[in-house]
Amino acid sequence: MKVTFHGDDLPSSREFDVTGGDKDSWHIPEEVPVAFVYNRRNYAVMMATPDDLADFAVGFSLTEKIVREPWDIISLDVYQTEQGADLRFKITNEALEILDVIQRRRNLVGSASCGVCGLENADVLFRKLDPVSDRPIDIDENTLASALHALRDHQALGNLTRTVHAAAWADLSGRIKIVREDVGRHNALDKLLGAMAMTKANVDKGFVVMSSRCSYEIIEKAATCGIKALISVSAPTAFALRKAKEANMALFANSDGGPVRLI
């Protein structure tokens, strides 16, 4: 895949002067519209933090099932302006056929916290997920705790702004290998999954760590890319729990006493 950037890089955060408190300034994360355009066809506009845009492009395309593999994207042109970013794809004919029949069309601005916008009907939410394994895998509690603790040191934007979400890939010893951040938790996960796909990370050799609550969409996106285990800092929703069970995905959540296995 050929990636070309046009225009100046957009900042992921800005410094603002504040009054009161013990600080003179505060770093605020950016949130801009990012348009996804495939073969000149508008598909979606997502509000996102404008960094790691190539990873976001690949991950979103995979989890939306527009492409099956990164190489289904022939080229990607990233146009950046003060108003936001346009991701202009050239995809294969096979991928374009998928785009034409895909049931989830997003001809609107998607909120960073909303995954239902643009669905043609609610039945899509209840389609059964394909299993990612024969049965949920086992991961040692100490390994999970180690990854959760290490995540804090890898959240550069989060530590600066105290606002954004993070999605990380940890190996089976609990070492953090890849981290991506965004104002939207599912955007952060898309960025992570895109980075993993581009680096050919082995999904059998680790697990995803989410700094936020685990929603159904987090499970669905992870399962689409074959993720076999996931731990979130906050507890999942009941719907997310059911979707994880459906996919045979090992699901964990943090608690006061440490990581707890839910599935």
For the segment 103-152, what is each residue's pLDDT rounded down to a tens digit? 454 444 444 544 455 455 555 666 889 999 999 999 999 999 999 999 99
Confidence of residue 257 (pLDDT cuts 50, 70, 90): confident
Please state, in angstroms and rounded to a whole number, the distance separating the CA atoms of residues 31 and 38: 22
Please state, in angstroms and rounded to a whole number, the distance separating the CA atoms of residues 180 and 94: 29
**pLDDT of the residue at 80:** 97
Question: Annotated active-site positions, please?
Answer: 114
Instruction: Give me the CATH code for the 141-261 domain, please.
Output: 3.40.140.10
Q: Where are the domains of the chain?
A: 2-124, 141-261
**pLDDT of the residue at 177:** 98
Q: Are residues 43 and 99 in contact, defined by beta-carbon separation less than 8 angstroms? A: yes
pTM of the model as a whole? 0.91
Confidence of residue 167 (pLDDT cuts 50, 70, 90): very high
Environment class of 39 (CB within 10 Å of its CB; exposed 0-12, middle 13-18, buried 19+):
middle
- For 228, residues 6+ apart whose C-beta sits below 8 A from its C-beta are 132, 133, 136, 137, 203, 204, 207, 249, 250
Please state, in angstroms and rounded to a whole number, the distance separating the CA atoms of residues 186 and 218: 6
